[in-house]
């Protein structure tokens, strides 16, 4: 009988692992909490990084990734990413992803922050994630993979120290939308191996680029099952999200084309923080923007694309619409004309670098459990993700995990990654404060565990979270399960931030005397 694999999640990582596992002879069931196409991948604008040009080098991609990771990346994982990335990109091309090409037929090169070479490929200008998602979904639907949509991961099934399936809540969101008196059905799916590809936890924060499905479900399930989780303190905040209307990410590729960040006096302030200015690592640019907003009494900074391509506003408008069609549409829907005037932007939570600890083949510390994509902590990103490495990571490690499952099943060993235990500070629940709600949780983390942290704020957040956890009731609906998952992940994120007193990468402590020395305070503190 063939090995049965359950993949939870339908972004680039989940779809890739499912396709590789089924090609290797496994029986695969893919479950997703929404429709198959609704995953973080479809929102990825900037592109996918890879050494696809003769004058680029794998060593340079490795170097750029390690530098962005602030010294905390796993060098072996980064080497795997850069070396195997081109093959995975060619696999996407074979699946039908049409990366943009110039008049000469060659791929258009894109430059993003902290890259030493313009190695970013994009599709449809700024619709790379959508193009990749569509191609992978089309191949999956044509494959032997079984699909269960609107299926929420309640928990992992663990027996004898090994993961042996998943418990699902199927159809709950649809059912309750139709009638509050109707609930979804609980269902257990047995499996020889389970792959978490559930994405991140952007719903932890009041301002986020993530879709509403990003509620940390896979991380919470792994924690409850006893799997090792690391580096949750490293949450990347994207510097440029539209500050008008609902949150909408303005890709780093816009700054890669030459757009500038301006304060309300029209000054390019990003160079105060880093010699690379607007193309410095994301954590630096995001904090510089937040600091400037503080000096401006909360008013957003401006992203100026009025100098791009042409002095003629009409030609410039045509260029922006062609190069960034998705962003251009969103900007104009908000009544803004970015070909003629700078647009207001602000930072927002974007990408979780930590997650369920894995080895180089997606194996977690629990036999039979694998993790890929944003839910996983592969070691690639360290303290700060290099731009456009996320899609690449999903493709590279998704393929590795899909191929490894078949080998592990054949061996019967079901090996696991090594674990690491970090002791969290003791927490006394707060005596009073607001009652739990998702908006209250999001504001708490945005204020005290966001772009800038300190022990006073983190300690307060830990106490409030402990009180909310003590008051929580057994969940029954998908929304209640999501809230419980967010609360659990929030507790572990805050605890991880408290045990790392130094500032590094996306984790910035205002109470770190080195990080807030006078020479850097104006540039980096908020």
Q: Cite the active site residues.
A: 282
Q: Name the token pair of 461.
A: 């957040």
Which residues lie below 8 Å from residue 308, measured CB to CB, with a gap of 6+?
257, 258, 259, 316, 319, 320
- Other Cβ atoms within 10 Å of 232 Cβ, number: 27
Please give the Cα distance from 292 to 263 (Å, whole number): 7
Confirm if 370 and 231 have CB atoms less than 8 A apart. no
Which residues are paired to 262 by β-bridges? 302
**Which ranges of 146-234 does DSSP label H, i.e. alpha helix?**
172-178, 217-225
String of DSSP letters for 2-62: PPEEEEE--SHHHHHHHHHHHHTT-EEEEE-SS-TT-SGGGG--S-EE---STT--HHHHH
Please give the Cα distance from 401 to 371 (Å, whole number): 8
For the chain, the residue count is 526
Backbone angles phi, psi at 262, to 5 degrees: -125, 145
| HSE-CB of 477 using CA atoms within 13 angstroms | 12
Name the 3-class secondary structure at 155.
Answer: strand
Euclidean distance between the first and final Cα of the chain, in Å? 59
Q: Looking only at Cα atoms, what is the longest distance across the chain?
A: 69
Please give the Cα distance from 489 to 469 (Å, whole number): 11
Please give the Cα distance from 199 to 40 (Å, whole number): 7
Distance (Å) of CA 385 to CA 318, 340, 452: 32, 32, 17
Q: Name the token pair of 19.
A: 């396709």
| DSSP summary character for residue 505 | T
Please give the Cα distance from 207 to 189 (Å, whole number): 35
String of DSSP letters for 355-378: EEE--TTSB-SSTTEEE-GGGEE-
């Amino acid at each position: 009988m063939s090995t049965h694999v359950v993949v939870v999640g339908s972004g680039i990582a989940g779809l890739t692992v499912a396709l590789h596992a089924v090609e290797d002879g496994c029986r695969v069931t893919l479950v997703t909490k929404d429709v198959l196409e609704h995953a973080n991948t479809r929102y990825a604008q900037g592109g996918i990084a890879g050494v696809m040009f003769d004058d680029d080098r794998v060593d340079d991609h490795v170097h750029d990734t390690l530098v962005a990771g602030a010294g905390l990346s796993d060098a072996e994982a980064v080497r795997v990413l850069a070396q195997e990335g081109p093959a995975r990109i060619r696999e996407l091309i074979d699946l039908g992803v049409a990366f943009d090409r110039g008049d000469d037929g060659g791929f258009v090169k894109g430059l993003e922050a902290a890259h030493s070479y313009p190695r970013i490929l994009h599709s449809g200008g700024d619709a790379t994630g959508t193009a990749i998602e569509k191609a992978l979904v089309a191949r999956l639907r044509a494959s032997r993979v079984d699909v269960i949509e609107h299926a929420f991961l309640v928990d992992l099934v663990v027996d004898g120290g090994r993961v042996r399936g998943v418990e699902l809540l199927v159809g709950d969101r649809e059912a309750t939308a139709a009638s509050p008196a109707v609930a979804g059905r609980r269902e257990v799916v047995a499996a020889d191996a389970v792959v978490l590809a559930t994405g991140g936890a952007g719903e932890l924060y009041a301002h986020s680029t993530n879709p509403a499905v990003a509620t940390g479900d896979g991380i919470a399930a792994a924690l409850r099952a006893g799997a090792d989780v690391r580096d949750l303190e490293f949450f990347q905040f994207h510097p440029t999200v539209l500050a008008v209307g609902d949150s909408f990410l303005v890709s780093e590729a816009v700054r890669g084309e030459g757009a500038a960040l301006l304060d309300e006096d029209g000054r390019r302030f990003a160079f105060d923080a880093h010699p690379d200015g607007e193309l410095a690592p994301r954590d630096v640019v995001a904090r510089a923007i937040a600091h400037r907003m503080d000096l401006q009494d909360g008013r957003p900074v401006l992203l100026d694309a009025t100098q791009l391509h042409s002095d003629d506003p009409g030609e410039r408008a045509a260029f922006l619409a062609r190069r960034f069609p998705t962003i251009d549409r969103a900007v104009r829907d908000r009544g803004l004309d970015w070909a003629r005037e700078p647009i207001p932007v602000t930072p927002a939570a974007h990408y979780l670098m930590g997650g369920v600890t894995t080895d180089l083949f997606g194996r977690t510390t629990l036999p039979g459990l694998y993790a890929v994509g944003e839910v996983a902590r592969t070691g690639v990103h360290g303290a700060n993700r290099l731009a456009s490495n996320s899609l690449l990571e999903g493709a590279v490690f998704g393929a590795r995990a899909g191929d490894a499952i078949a080998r592990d099943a054949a061996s019967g060993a079901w090996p696991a990654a090594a674990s690491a235990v970090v002791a969290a500070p003791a927490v006394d629940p707060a005596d009073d404060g607001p009652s739990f709600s998702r908006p209250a949780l999001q504001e708490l983390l945005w204020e005290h565990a966001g772009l800038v942290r300190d022990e006073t704020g983190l300690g307060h957040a830990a106490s409030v979270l402990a009180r909310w956890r003590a008051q929580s009731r057994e969940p029954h609906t998908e929304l209640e399960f999501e809230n419980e998952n967010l609360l659990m992940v929030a507790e572990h994120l805050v605890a991880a931030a408290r045990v790392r007193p130094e500032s590094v990468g996306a984790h910035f402590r205002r109470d770190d005397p080195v990080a807030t020395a006078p020479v850097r305070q104006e540039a980096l503190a908020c």
